[in-house]
Structure 1
Amino acid sequence: MKMIKPAFLGTLMVPAVMFAAGTVNAEENTTTMEATYLTETPEGTFHADALTGNQVKSSVEDDEDIGTITDLVIGEDGQINAVVVGVGGFLGMGEKNVAIEWDSLELTKDEDGEDYIITVNASQDALESAEEYNRNGDLEDE
């Protein structure tokens, strides 16, 4: 009879261990979320191309165009950290990139409500004298 108890307990333990392993595996699968899809632009959002290519205007120089947005710096959390603005130069020659923090910009809609007007509280001279944005750490020391 003593031999039956360990064998009986062992038989009961196998399903319990299998159940526990299945529960852990099921928990691992629930952390993976299925993709969700949009069919239209949500309220209060915009596409990157609404910014890139647009002129940045100076709020201290009578809304003068002082540069063009060439890129966005986006964090892993999906938030825009900064916009990269090409300043100076002529016809794209001699231009340098300056990154302006997102919170330093003001976005308003134009009269038609179609496009954004992007302004910053800085002059063109201030942007041209600002330190150049080093995207990949590849700027050489001068």
Structure 2
Amino acid sequence: MKTIKPAILGTLMVPAFMFAAGSVNAEESTTTMEATYLTETPENTFHADALTGNQVKSSVEDDEDIGTITDLVIGEDGQINAVVVGVGGFLGMGEKNVAIKWDSLELTKNEDDDDYVITVNASEDALEAAEEYNRNEDEDNK
């Protein structure tokens, strides 16, 4: 009878050790993911400062400047959802922010200086009449 107890005990212990080892390996695989790094800008990409501060031109009004990009709205997936454009006012006074969906913009590269030209199919009057974008509402919902 003495030999049966160690055999039963051993049989019960093997699955427990295997479960514990599997849990450790699972933890190691999720916590050991390392960051990857870039050393230069990948093709067909650009930096945020290539957009912010740039003028938005109207394709309706002969490429007239109708506002300045002041911010980007970026989703948790890293995609740009919209650009925030400051419109109206004079020297920054009385200006309001309007968010234009990313898909509504057309980006082209200026061949002379490699800067981006950003156009939207809207007039300056249309942007001034658009509802103002309120960034604070987004922060309250988090």
TM score, norm. by length of structure 2: 0.90
Quick check: 15-24 or 53-62, which moved more? Answer: 15-24
Higher helix residue share:
2
Per the alignment, residue 23 of structure 1 pairs with: 22
Q: How many Å apart are 1:9 and its aligned residue?
A: 1.8
Instruction: Output the CA distance in 2 between the equivalents of 1:27 and 1:79.
Output: 30
Correspondences of 1:99-118 after superposition (within 5 Å): 99-112=99-112, 114-118=114-118
Unmatched tracts of structure 1, length 5 or more: none
Verify: 1:14 aligned to 2:13, yes or no: yes
- Which amino acid is 1:81 matched to? N
Verify: 1:78 aligned to 2:62, yes or no: no
> After TM superposition, what 4+ stretches of structure 1 lie above 4 angstroms from structure 2?
none
Q: How many Å apart are 1:74 and its aligned residue?
A: 0.2
Deviations 1:38-64 (A, max 9, x none): 000001100000000000000000000
Unmatched tracts of structure 2, length 5 or more: none
Instruction: Output the CA distance in 2 between the equivalents of 1:9 and 1:136.
Output: 65
Instruction: Output the CA distance in 1 between the equivalents of 2:112 and 2:18.
Output: 63
Quick check: 113-122 or 52-61, which moved more? Answer: 113-122
* SS of aligned partner of 2:137: coil
Instruction: Output the CA distance in 2 between the equivalents of 1:86 and 1:100.
Output: 11
Quick check: 128-137 or 11-20, which moved more? Answer: 11-20
Q: Give the total of aligned pairs.
A: 137
* SS of aligned partner of 2:24: helix
Question: Alignment RMSD, CA only?
Answer: 1.5
